[in-house]
Amino acid sequence: MRPLDLLRTLTVMLIWGLNFAVSKAGLAEMPPLMMMALRFGVAALILCPFYPLSPRLLVHVLPLSLTLGSVHFGLMFTGLARVDAALAALLVPIQVPIAAVLGAFVFRERLTVRLLIGLVVAFAGITLIVGEPRASDPVPVLMILGASFVWAIANIQMKSTAGINPYALTGWIAFFAAPQLLLLSFLIEFDQWHLVGSAGWRGWGAVFFQAIGVSIMSYGFWYPLIRVYPVNIMMPLTLLVPVIAVAFAVLLLGEELTWWLVSGGLLTLAGVAITVVRR
């Protein structure tokens, strides 16, 4: 990999890892569903004017706005609001082996022994993490694991979007996901507008970091890279994300790093590594 491309890749990992701590700080000032509605609203306002909505694009963005936009992010950030950022960051990597297994069933890809071993090891790590005292409430943990499963489903949907401009895809998914999340916020959450109006730099900083830093900047780097370099080079580098996320959670949020969390995290990452790292 060229040095400049390696720097871009590491920048993406840094943004994705930092996002856990930034989002957790923002969730102290805004309810999660409303925060996601604002995030997608900002991303749509920036991207959609530059990319017209065609019938071909509409066929893809409508279902993805439900799975990837509303359900995945709704579950993920509602769960994140109720657990530590470090714990959430170590639960999320389970989505990689789940996506691989679902892909094997849906696309009749070969289900290898290595893939199954990686899945078992990763789930063993998740079991250790769930045994951590801070994970005593099963509901947010199940939300984050459910979000990981929905992310895997969305990746299967993404298979049919080859050739579509990624910024157009991101912008119009955001356009249709924002009102869905706004409706969910009004049905489930309380006192949203007061909290949004009283939010400080942490809440609004989290919204703009996610909209611009994550949705636009990081994927602006990531999509060209995965088109140039093999998946078996790029995917192992994503194992840096939970490590960076845990480091920022400890340094910026003052979260405690326990042996339960470290052991479970290492085991989960080992399972994911078995799944994605080729010989």
Which pLDDT does position 231 carry in this prediction? 62
> Which value, to the nearest 10 degrees, does the dihedral of the CA atoms of residues 162, 168, 170, 175 take?
-130
Please list the rounded mean pLDDT of every run of 10 residues in the chain (279 residues). Answer: 86 92 94 96 95 90 92 94 90 81 72 81 84 77 90 81 85 95 93 88 95 88 76 73 90 86 87 74
Task: Provide the sign of the torsion angle of the four alpha carbons 173, 179, 183, 186, taken in this order.
Answer: positive
Which pLDDT does position 106 carry in this prediction? 74
Q: What is the pTM of this model?
A: 0.87
Which pLDDT does position 15 carry in this prediction? 94
Cα 62–65–68 angle (5° rounding)?
135
**Distance (Å) of CA 103 to CA 119, 123, 269:** 13, 18, 20
Cα 230–209–100 angle (5° rounding)?
30
Which pLDDT does position 148 carry in this prediction? 87
The answer to whether the CB of 210 falls within 8 A of the CB of 24 is: no
Which pLDDT does position 174 carry in this prediction? 94
